[in-house]
Amino acid sequence: MSDVSGSGRAFLAVLVAICLLVALYIAQAGITARRESEGITETDIFEAMTPETFATTVLLAGFRGVLADMLWLRSIKMEDEKQWFELQALYELITQLQPDFEQVWDFAAWNLAYNIFFEAGSLDEKWDWLDAGRALLVEGIARNPRSYFLRWKLGELYMRKYADRTYPAFAERLRRQTGKHPYEHALQWFTDASDPGRFPAHTHLQDLSMAQIHDRLAELAHSESRLEDEIAHLEEAIGWWWIVLRESPDNLVGDKRVSQLSGRLAPAYSAVAKQAGSGEEAERALAKLREVADRTLELWGGYVEGDLERLLVAAVARTELVEALAAVHGEQAAMAEVSKAEELLNILKTQAAEMYAAHPLNPEFLFYGGEAARSLARCALIRHDEGAANEFHVEALKAYIMVNEQIMGFGNSIKRVDYLELESLVGRLIPEVQDRVKAYLGTAAQRPAKGGGV
């Protein structure tokens, strides 16, 4: 009797195990069907398959998804506990079980290039972990050729990590190895991910990344004196920021960047016109510069009084147009624009003084006043009024020195950190304007006194 009951229990255990396996298989079939309906399945599971991957995919058959989901839940707990190295081993197993699970490739690459990177000691070790993260994303893209998401993530890695200004050696090292700056690699992957023919799915973040990368490539071109590239990337960046604004009209960053980048276009087109001197190239640059000056004026005109940054951009753009017209067609051709520029600059000076009086702890308002005075000096030189130009330069110099002293007075507080960029800028402007004042005084000392002889 006992033998019979023992056999029955064994049979029952086997039956329960079979039922569980069937239930798991049905559950996995449902998961797989849902992924196929959402278009996130792998195109060819055997593509680039290693022996380890074969063991964890083919041999486990329909149960690999269930195991992957269990491991994924475990990985969330390990991430909370910051077990980075153990977590990476788990990620590698999950990618073998479910290579079409895009998020795991992303999280695994992030773990290598950010978390373990942070724990590494030397720059060489950090570079190795960063490069391991990059390689993992490349592998993920190979396993998921229909994924725009992983391409975009690889572009993000190049833009944010390889070009991280905390580690400037990384950008140069990558450039030596590949012949391209990290920003150029990022643009390649962002552009690839945004190809509507291959990836009809479209996200706001893709457009934002395109705007940001052209913005940074323009900065790079400016630092390397590649004027044509700078202009091309500025135009592209402005175009992409407009797309971002159409999708998200309340995006304050995009709204601000359109104005700022337009302001950077003005001196670039002015430089092209001055270099050309005459001819079709000069005229094309002047036409573009006039468009930029009108655009910046329009961008400022729709805002309430006190938006000094937009007003400064509009006033300086008009000043750039004045100088370019004078260089190409002579001072008389620039006189009408001189008056427009001076009108804007005087408004800026007045509003900056009023804003600083109301907010004396904000050195930016002092800076705006100094910039207005410096641009007024440029206009005075077009009028051949060197005395007035020097007075404006002295006024600008005083403003910059006050800005510098006020920021230094913040000590090592967070408030000073907020103005590091402004501190660096006035640090460059002070000696430049000092040299102009000294040059004028030196020339004035050589002039004969009024009413005196030669």
Per-residue tokens: 241: 């920021």
> Phi-psi bin for 226: left (phi > 0), alpha (psi -120 to 50), beta?
beta
* Residue at 449: amino acid letter: A
| pLDDT tens digit sequence for 104-153 | 788 888 878 887 788 878 899 899 889 888 988 998 899 888 889 999 99
Helix axes 102-110, 148-157, angle to 10 degrees: 10
| Nearby residues of 405 by Cβ (< 8 Å), 6 or more positions away | none
Q: Whose structure tokens read 């005229």? A: 283
Buried b (16+ CB within 10 A) or exposed e, 232-245: bbbbbbbebbebbb
pLDDT above 60 for 196: yes
For residues 454 and 443, what is the distance between their CA atoms, to the nearest angstrom? 15
Mean pLDDT of the chain: 81
pLDDT above 90 for 210: yes
**What percentage of the chain reaches a pLDDT higher than 90?**
54
Per-residue tokens: 146: 């229909």
| pLDDT tens digit sequence for 429-450 | 999 999 999 999 888 766 665 5
Question: Model's pTM, two decimal places?
Answer: 0.76
**Mean pLDDT across the stretch 183-205?**
88
Going by pLDDT thresholds of 50, 70 and 90, the confidence category of residue 60 is: very low
pLDDT above 90 for 165: no
Contact assessment for residue 28 and residue 70, using Cβ atoms and an 8 Å cutoff: no
